[in-house]
Structure 1
């Protein structure tokens, strides 16, 4: 049978959960005094939402084939992304064969290069690309991991990011990544509190459980080195995203100056093969952490992973739920993956994109069988109870 063509592209925005996991109400550990680049300003230090981390919201993209099959992609891009999809990117999809994913990606990227290259534009391209892979998998009756070459292991193993690594250990995860609470603006007292938090958690989880610190672009080089040196005593496995993602030179210095055996990781806010080429060729880190919803989608993640493999580096994607699970299980240089604990108190395992998506698999005892990913496409669907808003229509 002939492969269907693409007949429609639709872009919706969603508020209150979904791809933008900061878009929450009430107390949540992810918003509670976490070090950020804006923490240098006291009025924006307590809450990340106070400086607008949730301002974009979720973008939902549907790509419909001529036979009525619909591919689904989500990302963080909100109304800006919806405009880009409907008014610009749709021209590169309508009428195309569903299999033309590589060509469509290339045209979307280079057509937006004059105002894009990174950030919200590449987030949007990522969402479209994810929808295309979902659509192709559904049309072929195969999971996306099969389209990528198939699993190289029988199960995934996870570490958990959240405020309670001690609970994560009880839930069967291999490690816990803490948000760093205090940045350079809080001085030596803040640094002391960061080390005390790590020491307390080490006493609770024992010596063999991984502990990491997520610094979310909030530090300078000097502070990062001091933090790493003081954290060595408590067996910190890695120190993550300490510096601005544009400071490749600082990362190279940091990697040379952390204690022997401690890993430097980054890449959550990097995008495309060109950005990751800089990280890898300048030897900025030990592990790269692209987010498939932000780095360019599955199509670009293939290239980024190959670059990492050629440089002898691991690629452990930033927590992007089922979209990264399908990729990680097909790659030898991605031996484990992340789940962000989306419960307000980090005390239970929830699907990554709840309540937006249904049928998302979740790890059990820190593991997930490959068979949990065997539905066609990415195996998820929109929750009909979630209110979608379509702010634009294609030109």
Structure 2
């Protein structure tokens, strides 16, 4: 397979995007191959900044590359990472690399007619056919009607501990009382707590059967803090979505930072980076993909290489529809379980308007 051309766009989103996202959300990359009927599609964060990184630099490193093995894909990833070091080693550069890497995996799967789950794990006995899920967001009534039974709530510190604690106790008890089939509840504080606040909150919520706290503080603080997992009163700790350099996970491992690792496959460098993170963990730390219920994470979950738990952000239908993509990966969703179609690549393609077709 030869890469003959790369296109990249930053689509216009109708969905409400807050804080940094309006100008820096998900891009879409298309790679052309020497088979005019086969394209590869990928996505990554960074908005127009990532588009400029790809058009202005990274695409030149990929066009005309011959890819005959998975080793060739990994070699391209290594080159993109190395050549972007002056402005990268994470951040926008990793997001841009993610989009290219995923597009290449998508094309390779189609070109050589092998599902991505098989490329990642050849032993089909290890493959999963039913994917467990959880919904992220605070519209729990909608998610429950769709069939979800696990929920991750978005919470933010008001810097008034008692107010925050009382609000969470009321909300969590309300969910369990109203939706009797609820299994796990998780809390994502989006870096708005600190270590002391997290420990204090764990003590106050210890009898509410919280599965995990997530993203409690900044990656810098977490990577430079002594492990406090034993101080959380039985509540587990998850994080890693904002660690966009795979080597950060080596530090996490050394410091025992989290119970669960949560890299984002569209931000950390794509499948090629994620396979490195899996090797770093070596089975010690379960990997629960951030936004793993999107098409790019599902083959990894199916392969059995990461935990069987797919995060789906703000779902509004059982097809797990996406604004910019025709998502053909989902066959059925019921009682919190995804069953997937058989497909090559990621089973999804951009809406026809994306590349002005």
* TM-score normalised by L of structure 2: 0.90
**Greater Cα offset, 288-297 or 151-160:** 151-160
**1:281 alignment counterpart:** 254
Q: Is residue 189 of structure 1 aligned with residue 163 of structure 2?
A: yes
Q: Do 1:341 and 1:349's aligned partners in 2 also have CA atoms closer than 8 Å?
A: no
1:77-156 alignment runs, 5 A limit: 77-99=46-68, 100-149=72-121, 150=124, 152-156=127-131
1:200 deviates by 1.9
**Closer, same or farther in 2 for the Cα pair 1:194/1:208, shift >3 Å?**
closer
Distance 2:257 2:51 in 1: 34
1:207 deviates by 8.1
**Closer, same or farther in 2 for the Cα pair 1:197/1:282, shift >3 Å?**
same
1:333 deviates by 4.3
Q: Is residue 6 of structure 1 aligned with residue 12 of structure 2?
A: no
Q: Do 1:183 and 1:191's aligned partners in 2 also have CA atoms closer than 8 Å?
A: no
1:177 deviates by 0.7
**1:157 alignment counterpart:** 132
**Closer, same or farther in 2 for the Cα pair 1:55/1:75, shift >3 Å?**
same
| Aligned partner (choices 181, 204, 207) of residue 233 of structure 1 | 207
Distance 1:104 1:118 in 2: 17
Distance 1:55 1:176 in 2: 28
**2:330 alignment counterpart:** 361
**1:71 alignment counterpart:** 40
1:231 deviates by 1.5
Distance 2:344 2:41 in 1: 12
**Closer, same or farther in 2 for the Cα pair 1:267/1:183, shift >3 Å?**
same
Can you list the C-alpha shifts for 1:217-258, whole angstroms capped at 9, x where unaligned?
A: 111111111221111121111111101012235664431310
Distance 1:252 1:339 in 2: 31
Distance 1:299 1:136 in 2: 13
**2:237 alignment counterpart:** 264
**Closer, same or farther in 2 for the Cα pair 1:355/1:175, shift >3 Å?**
same
Can you list the C-alpha shifts for 1:251-274, whole angstroms capped at 9, x where unaligned?
A: 6443131002x2110011112330
Secondary structure at the counterpart of residue 265 of structure 2: coil
Secondary structure at the counterpart of residue 232 of structure 1: coil
| Aligned partner (choices 229, 241, 266) of residue 293 of structure 1 | 266
Q: Do 2:143 and 2:315's aligned partners in 1 also have CA atoms closer than 8 Å?
A: no
**Closer, same or farther in 2 for the Cα pair 1:188/1:350, shift >3 Å?**
farther
Secondary structure at the counterpart of residue 10 of structure 1: strand
**1:382 alignment counterpart:** 350
1:195 deviates by 2.7
**Closer, same or farther in 2 for the Cα pair 1:264/1:252, shift >3 Å?**
farther
**Closer, same or farther in 2 for the Cα pair 1:363/1:175, shift >3 Å?**
farther
**Closer, same or farther in 2 for the Cα pair 1:309/1:152, shift >3 Å?**
farther
Which protein has greater RCO, CA pairs closer than 8 Å, 6+ apart? 1
Distance 1:317 1:303 in 2: 14
**1:336 alignment counterpart:** 309
**1:15 alignment counterpart:** 12
**Closer, same or farther in 2 for the Cα pair 1:162/1:349, shift >3 Å?**
farther
1:332 deviates by 4.9
**Closer, same or farther in 2 for the Cα pair 1:251/1:268, shift >3 Å?**
farther
* TM-score normalised by L of structure 1: 0.82
Distance 1:78 1:388 in 2: 18
1:388 deviates by 5.9
Q: Please provide the CA RMSD for this pair.
A: 2.3
